[in-house]
Amino acid sequence: MLDRIDRARRTIDEACRSVGRQITVMEVCGTHTVSIFRSGIRSLLPERLKLLSGPGCPVCVTDQGYIDAVMHLADRDDCLIATYGDMIRVPGSDGSLETRAVRGNVRVVLSSEDALQLARDNPNKSVVFIAVGFETTAPATAVVVKEAAAEGIENFFVLSGHKLVLPAMRALLGGMNDRVDAFLCPGHVSVIIGWGAFAEIVADYGRPCVVAGFEPVQIVEALAEICRQLAAGKPELRSLYGAVVTEKGNLAAQRIIAECFEPVDGYWRGLGKIAASTLALREQYKRFDAFERFGLAAGPGREIPGCRCGEVLCGLIDPVECPLFASQCTPQAPIGPCMVSSEGTCSAWFKYGRRT
- Could you count the other beta carbons within 10 Å of the beta carbon of residue 155? 18
128 — phi, psi (to 5°)?
Answer: -110, 120
Asked if residue 84 binds another protein (CB under 8 A), the reply is: yes
Strand partners, 130: 83, 159
Does 123 bind another protein (CB under 8 A)? Our answer is no
Cβ-contact 130, 84 below 8 angstroms = yes
Q: Is 289 a residue that touches another protein (CB under 8 A)? A: no
Say if CB 57 and CB 345 are below 8 A apart.
yes
The one segment of 64-72, 86-94, 295-303, 311-319 that binds another protein by CB under 8 A: 86-94
> Which of 3, 102, 104, 110 contacts another protein by CB under 8 A?
110
The separation between CA 90 and the C-alpha centre of its own chain, rounded to angstroms, equals 14
Residue 317 binding another protein, by CB under 8 A: no
- Helix ranges restricted to H, the chain: 2-19, 30-38, 58-61, 64-74, 97-100, 112-121, 138-151, 165-171, 187-193, 199-205, 216-232, 251-260, 290-294, 309-313, 345-352
- Candidates 79, 168, 253, 313: give the one binding another protein (CB under 8 A): 253
Of residues 115 and 201, the one with the C-beta less far from another protein: 115
Which helix or strand (DSSP H or E) is residue 264 part of? strand 261-268
Q: Residue 263 or residue 344: which is nearer to another protein going by CB?
A: 344
Q: Pairing state of beta strands 23-27 and 209-211?
A: unpaired
Span of 82-90, 175-183, 201-209, 222-230 interacting with another protein by CB under 8 A: 82-90
Site string for another protein, 30-49 (x = CB under 8 A): xx--xx-xxxxxxxx-----
Q: How many helices and strands in the chain, by DSSP H and E?
A: 15, 11
CB of 1 to another protein, least distance (A): 7
Among 50, 188, 228, 269, binds another protein (CB under 8 A): 188
Under the binding rule (CB under 8 A), the answer on residue 19 touching another protein is: no
Based on the shown chain and the rule CB under 8 A, indicate whether residue 160 belongs to the binding site for another protein: no
Q: Are 32 and 56 in contact (CB under 8 A)?
A: yes
User: Per rule CB under 8 A, is residue 85 in the interface with another protein?
Assistant: yes
Say whether residue 112 binds another protein (CB under 8 A). Answer: yes
Q: Of the two residues 12 and 173, which places its CB atom closer to another protein in the complex? A: 12
133 scored as a contact of another protein (CB under 8 A) = yes
Is residue 63 near another protein by the rule CB under 8 A? Answer: no
Smallest gap, in angstroms, from Cβ of residue 90 to another protein? 12
Burial class (CB in 10 A: 0-12, 13-18, 19+), 46: middle
Among 143, 169, 182, 298, binds another protein (CB under 8 A): 143
Shortest CB 292 distance to another protein, Å = 24
Closest by CA position to 53, among listed 331, 356, 343: 343
Distance, in Å, from the CA atom of 85 to the CA atom of 121, rounded to the nearest integer, reads 21
Shortest distance (Å) from residue 241 CB to another protein: 9
For residues 172 and 230, the answer to whether their CB atoms sit within 8 Å is no
Quote the CA–CA distance of 206 and 185 in Å, as a whole number.
Answer: 15
Using rule CB under 8 A, residue 342 touches another protein: yes
By rule CB under 8 A, what count of residues binds another protein?
Answer: 64
Residues in touch with another protein (CB under 8 A) = 1-2, 5, 30-31, 34-35, 37-44, 57-59, 84-86, 88-89, 107-114, 132-134, 136-137, 139-140, 143, 188, 191-192, 214-217, 220, 243-245, 250, 252-253, 256, 331-332, 342-343, 350-355
